[in-house]
Amino acid sequence: MNPLLEHRLLLNRRHFFSRTGLGLGTLGLASLLDERLFAAEARGGLPGVPHFAARAKRVIYLFQSGAPSQMDLFDYKPKLDGLRATELPDSIRKGQRLTGMTATQEKFPVAPTKFRFAQHGRGGTWLSELLPHTARVADELCVVRSMFTEAINHDPAVTFLQTGAQLAGRPSIGAWLSYGLGSENSDLPAFVSLISNGSGNPNDQPLYDRLWGSGFLPTRHQGVKFRSAGDPVLFLSNPAGLDAAARRRMLDDLAKLNQLKLKETGDPEITTRIAQYELAYRMQTSVPELTDLTKEPAHVLDRYGPDARKPGTFAANCLLARRLAERGVRFIQLFHRGWDQHAKLPSQITGQCRDTDQPSAALIEDLRQRGLLKDTLVVWGGEFGRTVYCQGRLTADDYGRDHHPRCFSIWLAGGGIRGGHTHGETDDFSYNIARDPVHVHDLHATLLHCLGIDHTRLTFKFQGRNHRLTDVHGQVVKDMLA
């Protein structure tokens, strides 16, 4: 190929404007004059964002992968006790689609929860006996019983909650926030993801790195996955025989080569590459200190429960999430697997709640005690709900539940959220929404609102169209706001 023609092809509109801007030379000069200018550049964010006064500065999203059963945890349905083993009425099902796992069942017997419910807090929030610790913080929670989604299978449903689209390839929520708001800490990523495996269903659905990806946004906004074994971040430590001084010299030389390539092509991804190399260098100091939970007082570890001392557990990750929030990380995503309970639900959900109940409540209490809850938005929930009818054989002590996108429950707490409140209502079978529905796009619009962002104005032009997290939908649910 003609090298001149190839060079012209590389020079698209975005590259042209990036080359006619201030450029890296000016940034380098600014960093010599005042390092705070360089720090501001590293924090990123868009001019004019937030659009209005924010109630929250950061988000901790406790994602319960596999779909917790709303009827066994949050959505109390006492009338079902007298309908046990009866057929789900056609007037309730309304011919709605089923998954391939139950579509061929001859019967759809109603399976009431075997767990007791009670009201808690000044707002009288109904919670299952499986959540005694969550009950302590009931007055901080806004329980949403009327969530719904279009996705009926796990991967598109999880992808939808994380990116606002069922098809893979869109930016995740954390990437959007990194793009719009930037970072508060130049030594840590703006977006961190953590994964734990539950004791309920050990063979639960897999989780893919694209769930914390940046999609079509610049790659600097993708989430950084922290691991529980070895280096917290892959390749964080220098290899044997390479000290910090040698690493610094290598990065300086590499930056010069990248700057030459940037000058030649104007590719903005090269700028991202330089910035990420520098962030990784700073993380070699900041991350080991961050992830060392042994420095936490014994009473704090005890608050999060016995698993807090075991790296990689949900409890340890909740404690790490608080430490990340203290250091200004913008979006902290915890994924906890094991909620996909098509069979043996009573025993499996008991294990899952044992994993998550105490650490989730401890996180709320810890943030509140440190003055962080007022500007930290905490979200707890899965990708859809579970059916009122039993999947498989219904026995006196056992039942399973299939996927159910028509209604499910989540809770929110902290920055800008109305505590001690229950939003929405389902029918007597927890099958259809009876009042105040909240779509996934509405949830995203409300989260962004708490962060001072008008969801219709946080956009990125890609392939000729202005994209946003909420696509062309979404309404802020004002009843959920403080």
Bridge partners of residue 435, in order along the sequence: 425
Q: The dihedral of CA 438, 443, 446, 450: what is its sign?
A: positive
β-bridge partners, 55: none
Tokens 């909620």: give the residue.
339
- Please count the other Cβ atoms lying within 10 Å of the Cβ belonging to residue 318: 30
Say if residues 198 and 339 touch (Cβ distance below 8 Å). Answer: yes
Q: Which of 45, 58, 41, 46 is nearest to 278 (CA)?
A: 41
- The pTM (predicted TM-score) of the whole model is 0.88
- Mean pLDDT of residues grouped by 10 in the chain (482 residues)? 48 47 38 41 81 98 98 98 97 93 95 98 97 98 98 97 97 98 93 96 90 95 90 79 79 84 84 77 83 94 97 97 97 98 97 98 98 98 98 95 98 98 98 98 98 98 96 97 97
What's the pLDDT at 137? 98
Torsion of CA 206, 212, 216, 220, to 10 degrees: -140
Tokens in use for 117? 């419910």
Query: How far apart are alpha carbons 468 and 466 in whole angstroms?
Result: 7
Burial class (CB in 10 A: 0-12, 13-18, 19+), 297: exposed
Residue 207's contacts (CB-CB under 8 Å, 6 or more residues apart) are 65, 158, 195, 335, 337
Q: What's the confidence (pLDDT) of residue 239? A: 79
Which residues, at least 6 apart from 394, have a Cβ–Cβ distance to it below 8 Å? 85, 109, 111
User: What pLDDT, on a 0 to 100 scale, did the predictor assign at position 237?
Assistant: 78
Which pLDDT belongs to residue 43? 66
Domains with residue ranges and CATH for the chain: 54-213+298-480 (3.40.720)
| Measured CA angle at 69 (ends 66, 71), to 5 deg | 170
Residue 326 CA to residue 3 CA, distance in Å, equals 50
Residues pairing with 461 in the sheet: 466
The pLDDT value recorded for residue 17 is: 46
Torsion of CA 222, 225, 230, 236, to 10 degrees: 20
- Residue whose structure tokens are 């962060």: 451
Read out DSSP for 88-109?
PPHHHHTT----TTTTT-S--B
How far separated are the first and last CA of the chain, in Å rounded? 61
